[in-house]
Structure 1
Amino acid sequence: MAKRVYEVWKGNNRFLCYGRLIFGPDARSLFITISLIVIPVVIFCVFVARHLLHKFPSYNAGYAILVITIAFTIYVLVLLKLTSSQDPGIIPRASHPPEEDVSYDSSILDSTPSAQFPRMKEVMVNGIPVKVKYCDTCMLYRPPRCSHCSICNNCVERFDHHCPWVGQCIGMRNYRYFFFFVSSSSLLCIYVFAMCSLYIKFLMDGDYPTVWKAMKQSPASVILMIYCFISMWFVGGLTGFHSYLISTNQTTYENFRYRSDSRLNVYDRGCTNNIMEVFCSRIKPSRNDFRAIVLEEHPRPPDIHPHELEDDSESYPRSKVQDDLSIDVDMLKISQRHNVEEFYEETGGKSPSSFHNLASESKGASDFNTPLPITESKLKDFHQDRIVDKPVRDALEKSSFFSKR
Structure 2
Amino acid sequence: MPPPESPDSGATSAPSLVRTYRVWQGSNVFLFGGRLIFGPDVKSIFISVFLVLVPVAVFCAMVARKLLDDFPHYSGWSIMAVAIALTLFVLVTLVVTSSRDPGIVPRNAHPPELDDYYWTDSINGTNPLSRLPRTKDVIVNGIIVKTKYCETCMLYRPIRASHCSVCDNCVERFDHHCPWVGQCIGLRNYRFYYMFILSATLLCLYVHAFCWVYIRRIKDSEKISIWKAMTKTIASIALIIYTFVCVWFVGGLTVFHTYLISTNQSTYENFRYRYNHQVNPYNRGIIKNFAEVFCTRVPPSKNNFRSKVPKEPLDSHRRTDIGSFSPVLKRTRRNMELVGSSINNERDEESDYRDGFNNESRRKDSELTEKSLNLSRTFPTEGEEGQENGQPGPVYEIIAEIPDSTAEVGESNWAAKPSYSNTA
TM-score, length of structure 2 as denominator length:
0.68
2 CA distance for matches of 1:100 and 1:313? Answer: 22
Counterpart of 1:263 in structure 2 is: 278
Q: Could you tell me which of 48, 51, 55 is aligned with 2:66?
A: 51
Distance 1:226 1:122, change over 3 A: same
Counterpart of 1:149 in structure 2 is: 164
Counterpart of 2:228 in structure 1 is: 213
**Letter paired with 2:153:** C
In the TM superposition, what is the alpha-carbon distance from 1:149 to its structure 2 partner?
A: 0.4
In the TM superposition, what is the alpha-carbon distance from 1:101 to its structure 2 partner?
A: 5.0
Q: Give me the CA root mean square deviation.
A: 2.7
1 CA distance for matches of 2:26 and 2:143? Answer: 33
Distance 1:18 1:125, change over 3 A: same
**Letter paired with 2:37:** I
Distance 1:208 1:230, change over 3 A: farther
1:79 aligns to 2:103 (yes or no)? no
Distance 1:281 1:312, change over 3 A: closer
Percent identical among aligned pairs is: 54
**Letter paired with 1:215:** M
C-alpha contact (below 8 Å) 2:102/2:184 kept by paired residues: yes
Select the structure with the greater relative contact order (CA < 8 A; seq sep ≥ 6): 2
Q: Could you tell me which of 240, 249, 259 is aligned with 1:225?
A: 240
C-alpha contact (below 8 Å) 2:161/2:174 kept by paired residues: yes
Could you tell me which runs of 5 or more consecutive residues in structure 1 were left unpaired when the two chains were aligned. 316-405
2 CA distance for matches of 1:7 and 1:101? Answer: 35
Distance 1:229 1:7, change over 3 A: same
Counterpart of 1:94 in structure 2 is: 108
1:118 aligns to 2:161 (yes or no)? no
1:197 aligns to 2:179 (yes or no)? no
Q: Per the alignment, in what secondary structure is the counterpart of residue 294 of structure 1?
A: strand
2 CA distance for matches of 1:270 and 1:165? Answer: 31
C-alpha contact (below 8 Å) 1:193/1:225 kept by paired residues: yes
Counterpart of 1:62 in structure 2 is: 76
1:292 aligns to 2:304 (yes or no)? no
1 CA distance for matches of 2:131 and 2:44? Answer: 40
In the TM superposition, what is the alpha-carbon distance from 1:179 to its structure 2 partner?
A: 0.5
C-alpha contact (below 8 Å) 2:114/2:132 kept by paired residues: no
C-alpha contact (below 8 Å) 1:101/1:117 kept by paired residues: no
C-alpha contact (below 8 Å) 1:246/1:275 kept by paired residues: yes
CA deviations over 1:120-175 (Å, ceiling 9, x no partner): 11112123322111001000000110000000000000000000000000001000
Distance 1:312 1:207, change over 3 A: closer
Counterpart of 1:235 in structure 2 is: 250
Q: Per the alignment, in what secondary structure is the counterpart of residue 130 of structure 1?
A: strand
C-alpha contact (below 8 Å) 2:17/2:311 kept by paired residues: no
1 CA distance for matches of 2:275 and 2:254? Answer: 23
CA deviations over 1:341-397 (Å, ceiling 9, x no partner): xxxxxxxxxxxxxxxxxxxxxxxxxxxxxxxxxxxxxxxxxxxxxxxxxxxxxxxxx
CA deviations over 1:38-68 (Å, ceiling 9, x no partner): 0000010111111011111x22011111111
Distance 1:314 1:166, change over 3 A: closer
Q: Per the alignment, in what secondary structure is the counterpart of residue 286 of structure 1?
A: coil
Counterpart of 1:179 in structure 2 is: 194
Superposed counterparts of 1:1-400, under 5 Å: 1-56=16-71, 58-101=72-115, 115-207=130-222, 209-259=224-274, 262-295=277-310, 303-304=329-330, 305-306=332-333, 309=337, 311-312=341-342
**Letter paired with 1:64:** S
In the TM superposition, what is the alpha-carbon distance from 1:5 to its structure 2 partner?
A: 0.7
C-alpha contact (below 8 Å) 2:18/2:311 kept by paired residues: no
C-alpha contact (below 8 Å) 1:247/1:274 kept by paired residues: yes
In the TM superposition, what is the alpha-carbon distance from 1:212 to its structure 2 partner?
A: 2.2
2 CA distance for matches of 1:266 and 1:7? Answer: 39
2 CA distance for matches of 1:185 and 1:4? Answer: 36
TM-score, length of structure 1 as denominator length:
0.71
Q: Which has the larger radius of gyration?
A: 1
C-alpha contact (below 8 Å) 1:24/1:167 kept by paired residues: yes
Q: Per the alignment, in what secondary structure is the counterpart of residue 166 of structure 1?
A: coil
Q: Per the alignment, in what secondary structure is the counterpart of residue 248 of structure 2?
A: helix
Distance 1:137 1:64, change over 3 A: same
**Letter paired with 1:78:** V
Q: Per the alignment, in what secondary structure is the counterpart of residue 206 of structure 1?
A: helix
Distance 1:101 1:233, change over 3 A: farther
Distance 1:273 1:311, change over 3 A: closer
Distance 1:224 1:313, change over 3 A: closer
1 CA distance for matches of 2:49 and 2:176? Answer: 20
C-alpha contact (below 8 Å) 1:101/1:118 kept by paired residues: no
